Amino acid sequence: MRTRWIILLLALLVAPAFAQNSPYAVTVPVNDTAAASRDEAIAAALTQVLTRANGGQDPRSKPGYADAMKQPGALVQQYQYKKGQPGSAPLMLEVSFDPAAIRRASGAADPTAGGTANILLVIVRNGQGQLMTPDALAPLAQAAQARGYQAVFPSDGLPSASAVSSADPATIAALTAKYHTGLILQGRIDQGNADWTMVTGGKAQAWQDSGEADDAVLANGANGAGDRIDRQLGANSSIGNAASVWVSGLKSAADFAAMMGALHDDPSIRSAVPAQADGDGVLLQVKGNGSLRALASGVGASGHLLVAQGSHDGASVNLRWIP
């Protein structure tokens, strides 16, 4: 009981601070509350946010800039008027923009937005245990792309194959933080025979396959991974209106604040509001862009939020917080 009230009270306290500290929010002076003045201030705010998203450089050369400035209000999530501080304009306008829309307008790739490929980390070794190169894995990458996934390949410092196949929490957290995804496909190919493991957050699913040619086996591996992700997360389940997300593993108020910060930093998520809490978990009402599959892929980038096994009553997605 005490944990529940602490979490819900903390949610009320920390949510406004997130909006103020967001890179997608800015406060600008406004002459008055008339629509024309408001629209002018929103345009100025959008220019500031796009400049910030462009690393401080002039954003006007970006392909999406001109279209964004035609209707700045269409990119706004919320706005509010406030009194100016002494020495500043008497009236100010706080404006918060849709992160995914800002990324599109600034020309930044958004791997978690709807319609864009979700990142799939691919670790495949040959029969001698050597890591296969991206060129050798091209058939897998092409098949993954057709399923809506962007295959990325490890550089160095890989953990053991057994640590990945067993979905060791520390190992998976480190990989998701490094490669910005909670979707990991590991395989071993030897003379047309394949052993595959698909890790979707904290859950590992293993299967075997065989074929006459390695290219076909590699493509089958990508399709097998896509099938398993879609069954677990629901490829076409949109979070545009709202999705119920259960997050467990919150052992302190600091964990809760850090978890909300991770959600806030995900550009595919527009809002996350606590609905109820029980023990070390909290049920959130999440609104965002794209699907539950995209949500699970995006939140894994923090290395702290992973898809958990099992289910929770009323939740579409079950996540676990790893400090």
Domain-embedded: residue 129: yes
pLDDT at 137: 94
The CATH number for 198's domain is 3.40.50
Looking at the structure, tell me whether residues 93 and 140 fall in a common domain.
Answer: no
State which of 48, 79, 105 marks the end of a domain.
105
Domain-embedded: residue 18: no
pLDDT at 2: 47
Looking at the structure, tell me whether residues 94 and 168 fall in a common domain.
Answer: no
Domain-embedded: residue 201: yes
Looking at the structure, tell me whether residues 168 and 209 fall in a common domain.
Answer: yes
Domain-embedded: residue 312: yes
State which of 211, 233, 255 marks the end of a domain.
233
Enclosing domain of residue 308? 243-321
Looking at the structure, tell me whether residues 221 and 272 fall in a common domain.
Answer: no
Domain-embedded: residue 137: yes
Looking at the structure, tell me whether residues 201 and 150 fall in a common domain.
Answer: yes
Stretches in the chain below the pLDDT threshold 70: 1-22, 54-57, 87-88, 107-117, 201-202, 232-242, 265-268, 288-303, 307-311
Split into its structural domains, the chain has a count of: 3
From the CB of residue 253, how many other CB atoms can be counted at a distance below 10 Å?
15
Domain-embedded: residue 16: no
Looking at the structure, tell me whether residues 58 and 145 fall in a common domain.
Answer: no
Which of these, 182, 201, 131, 120, lies nearest to 161 by C-alpha position?
131
Looking at the structure, tell me whether residues 85 and 44 fall in a common domain.
Answer: yes
Looking at the structure, tell me whether residues 130 and 228 fall in a common domain.
Answer: yes
Pairing of strands 149-152, 118-125: parallel
**In this structure, are residues 186 and 194 in contact, taking their beta carbons and an 8 Å threshold?**
no
The number of helices, as runs of H, and strands, as runs of E, in the chain is 10, 13
pLDDT at 289: 62
The CATH number for 304's domain is 3.30.70
pLDDT at 299: 60
Looking at the structure, tell me whether residues 143 and 228 fall in a common domain.
Answer: yes
Which of these, 322, 70, 299, 64, lies nearest to 181 by C-alpha position?
299
Looking at the structure, tell me whether residues 145 and 248 fall in a common domain.
Answer: no
Task: Say whether 20 sits in a helix, a strand or coil.
Answer: helix
Looking at the structure, tell me whether residues 76 and 147 fall in a common domain.
Answer: no
Domain-embedded: residue 250: yes
State which of 190, 214, 233 marks the end of a domain.
233
What is the rounded distance in angstroms from the CA atom of residue 253 to the CA atom of residue 264? 16
pLDDT at 287: 77
Query: Which DSSP helix (H) or strand (E) runs through 189?
Result: strand 183-190
Looking at the structure, tell me whether residues 131 and 87 fall in a common domain.
Answer: no
Domain-embedded: residue 13: no
